Amino acid sequence: MTLADALRQASAAGLDRLDAQTLLLHALNRPPHDRAWLIAHDSDELPATVQPVWSALLTRRLAGEPVAYLLGQKEFFGLPLQVDARVLVPRPDTETLVQWALDLLPGLGEQPRVIDLGTGSGAIALALAHQRPGLDITASDASPDALAVAQANARALGLRVHFATGHWLEAVPGQTFALIVSNPPYIAEADPHLPALAHEPGSALVSGPDGLDDIRTIIAQSTRALRPGGWLLLEHGHDQAPRVRALLGSAGFDHVSSHTDLAGIERCSGGQWPEGR
């Protein structure tokens, strides 16, 4: 079997060509973006020792397992993050939230305290820590397994982040922050897209009948944990921005707005806690 044969095998089975190329490169222990090498060597024989590795990767991907889990890694905001089934795969959409947070930080004082709620792989917290060295940032998660992944990523990247275990702001009782960011679960229990996400942790995806239970909890808790003038930024579903803005406004937040991702979708919403509170 040549490399071209392996890719034709994947195509015949219904696998996306880019996924097939990425996985074949991984099986060959080559960089995941080295597709030009595959084209130049398409007549090379697939080594016998690699064939069972390739076959296993192909089977797992066709069963719906995310490519990032098969590679054990996903890039986010320029950082290589180790990921597995204990955490969600970081999505490019979430970079919108990180950029909004970075834009706000200069206006939040000399040493603003920041917390990333439900950190998962640590993507948001680590991106902020990397972009703003010395930032006082905490990452919390209710899952000890998820925190173990985030802590391993922090060590591998040499980034300093505080970690706390607990449900949202209950992980840091009595503490106050200048900026709270979160990519919480926001999928409704009956969402028809859930079966396609079966390999990722359901507790990090689903949040009640309308998908907003955890967002409601975070907003309520943030009113007691934000310093005056502090900000709360939340990622949410593609059609949830109006409802999240309404929740923020009802809770007393000022300057409530939403930011769009690269596809023009309102991907995150936030507001500022009034100075006089």
Amino acid at 276: G
Q: What is the DSSP secondary-structure string of 78-97?
A: TEEEE--TTSPPP-GGGHHH
Q: Tokens 């972009």 sit at which residue?
A: 131
Least confident interval from 59-63, 122-126, 219-223: 59-63
Question: How would residue 277 be classed by pLDDT, with cut points 50, 70 and 90?
Answer: low
Strands 226-235 and 266-272, how do they pair?
antiparallel
With H, G, I as helix, E, B as strand and everything else as coil, classify residue 197. Answer: helix
Task: Work out the percent of the chain whose per-residue pLDDT is above 90.
Answer: 83
Angle, CA 28 vertex, CA 27 and CA 31 arms, to 5°: 95
- Contact status, residue 148 vs residue 86, Cβ threshold 8 Å: yes
State residue 160's pLDDT score.
96
Q: Is 174 left (phi over 0), alpha (psi -120 to 50) or beta?
A: left
State the amino acid at position 68 in one-letter form: A
Cα–Cα distance measured from residue 215 to residue 207, given in angstroms and rounded to the nearest whole number: 8
DSSP state of 178: E
Residue 271 has pLDDT above 90, yes or no: yes
- For 37, 57, 93, 105, the CA distances from 262, given in Å and listed in that order, are 30, 30, 8, 22
Q: How many CA atoms lie within 13 A of 236 on its CB side?
A: 28
Longest dimension (CA), the chain: 71
Strand partners, 270: 233, 257
Residue 275 binned pLDDT confidence (cut-offs 50, 70, 90): confident
With left for phi above 0 and alpha for psi between -120 and 50, is residue 134 left, alpha or beta? left
* Span 10-33, pLDDT tens digits: 999 999 999 999 999 999 999 888
Q: Could you tell me the domains of the chain? A: 3-63 (no CATH), 73-272 (3.40.50.150)
59's CB contacts (< 8 A; 6+ apart) are: none
pTM of this structure = 0.91
Other Cβ atoms within 10 Å of 239 Cβ, number: 10
First CA to last CA across the chain, in angstroms?
69
Please tell me whether residue 4 adopts helix, strand or coil conformation.
helix
Examine the pLDDT at 50 and tell me if it is beyond 70.
Answer: yes
- Give how far Cα 251 sits from Cα of 12, 113, 215, 254, 256, Å: 53, 22, 12, 9, 11
DSSP 8-29: HHHHHTT--HHHHHHHHHHHTT
Predicted pLDDT at 171: 97
Contact 42, 80 (CB under 8 A): no
- Provide Rg for the chain, Cα atoms: 21
